[in-house]
Amino acid sequence: MSTRILQFTNCKILRNHRIYIDDLWVRDGIIVDPEKTFYDEKLGPNRVIDLHETLVAPGFIDIQINGGFGVDFSHDVNIIEDGLQSVAKGILPHGVTAFCPTLVTSKPDVYHQVLPKIKKTKGGTHGAEILGVHVEGPFINKDKRGAHAVEDIMDFGKGFRTLDEVYGYLDDIKIVTLAPEKENSRCIIEELVNRGIAVSLGHSAADIKTAEDAVSCGASLITHLFNAMLPFHHRDPGIVGLLASNNVKKIYYGIIADGVHTHPAALRIAHRANPKGVVLVTDAISAMGLAEGVHHIGQKVIDVRGDCAYIANTDTLCGSVATMNKCVKYFLEAASCSTVEALEAASLHPAEALGLSKKKGSLNYGADADFVTLNDSLDVLSTWIAGECVSHVPEFDICD
């Protein structure tokens, strides 16, 4: 059986929460132990690649992205396959090697049309890996709906049968965001977790007790912390209080570090309260990746100004246009954290939150060889999936 071994040398590697000067060996798309491969198996590299003293970090994983590059996953029903490919390809230069396409609160017929068309797909030169769908709604609190359509919000009237009827197709769903204060949510959470689907708490007015009960049932995530939930209050901190709860073993929380949605002080508070749980998400909308100016996207008219997207002719924000690499760099500065912590918030933590950390989110032996190379400013120079270069800046020509 033929095997292909790559040796990446002259680089720094993020592994086991530290940055080392070391080589990275990849065998048939999997990271391997060079000593065992060379000394025990008597195998050497087929190709040695000089990375010119760059930093090698695990590929970024975006578990909440609504679209980008003019594509809206929830509304471009007729072109969803082409739209997915466009976004999956477009996020590669920003270091994303895997993602969860996210659908906001929609009508059942939209879910029935879209969900069967979004399959879990391996990554490559065609685009980042699709880990499964994040359905953000429609089982949320109307009072904390944000930009979600109030007329499409639903209750769990028939228990889990409601999800079967509303979504129609659950096979490739990876995350469900719901409001835990809704009636019957406890049994819903338990059944979702039993099926291997992560439950995230969000768009909710839940108090701390309700939130803790949801976690005891298996909920493991918080959707965009601080946004679309009760503000922190010292007598009842609500969902935010999960970060420091003694009644919760482990909680991960998505946070939008784009310089718009979350104040730097809030980022620092969250990170210092629970540094191991932070998961950077873009929550990007269709305007991500588009030039400044007015864009007609579906039925929406969006005005992109700088790093913000507004409803045209207003000063009303309509979503994030951040890329994951920008979020990493902003979080590093705003949270006053280490480079390792910023990078793991975009790689290891989301992988752990989804139960994928044996294969994703690290450069440990046996993990998929999905990684990025970065300069000292954490600009992405190249992106690799399964040991194959899938994107690189022109001056970083080692991929050619």
| Residues annotated as catalytic (active site), given as ranges | 283
Q: Specify the DSSP class assigned to residue 36.
A: I
**Does 308 count as an annotated binding residue?**
no
**Does 78 count as an annotated binding residue?**
no
Closest CA to 60 of 383, 397, 387: 383
**Does 181 count as an annotated binding residue?**
no
**Does 352 count as an annotated binding residue?**
no
Contact 166, 108 (CB under 8 A): yes
> In degrees, to the nearest 5, what angle opens at C-alpha 90 toward C-alphas 173 and 366?
60
Contact 276, 310 (CB under 8 A): no
**Does 319 count as an annotated binding residue?**
yes
Match 């969803």 to its residue by tokens: 80
**Does 228 count as an annotated binding residue?**
yes
Q: Which residues contact 39 (CB under 8 A, 6 or more apart)?
A: none
**Does 129 count as an annotated binding residue?**
no
| Cα 127 from Cα 239, distance rounded (Å) | 35
**Does 224 count as an annotated binding residue?**
yes
Crossing angle, helix 208-216 and helix 185-194, to 10 degrees?
A: 30
**Does 35 count as an annotated binding residue?**
no
**Does 361 count as an annotated binding residue?**
no
Match 């509303």 to its residue by tokens: 166
**Does 191 count as an annotated binding residue?**
no
Contact 314, 266 (CB under 8 A): no
What are the residues facing 297 on neighbouring strands?
300
Closest CA to 223 of 242, 236, 196, 209: 242
Q: Which residues are annotated as part of the binding site for Zn(2+)? A: 136, 203, 224
Q: Pick out the residues of the known binding site for substrate.
A: 147, 227-228, 235, 261, 317-319
Residues annotated in a binding site: 136, 147, 203, 224, 227-228, 235, 261, 317-319
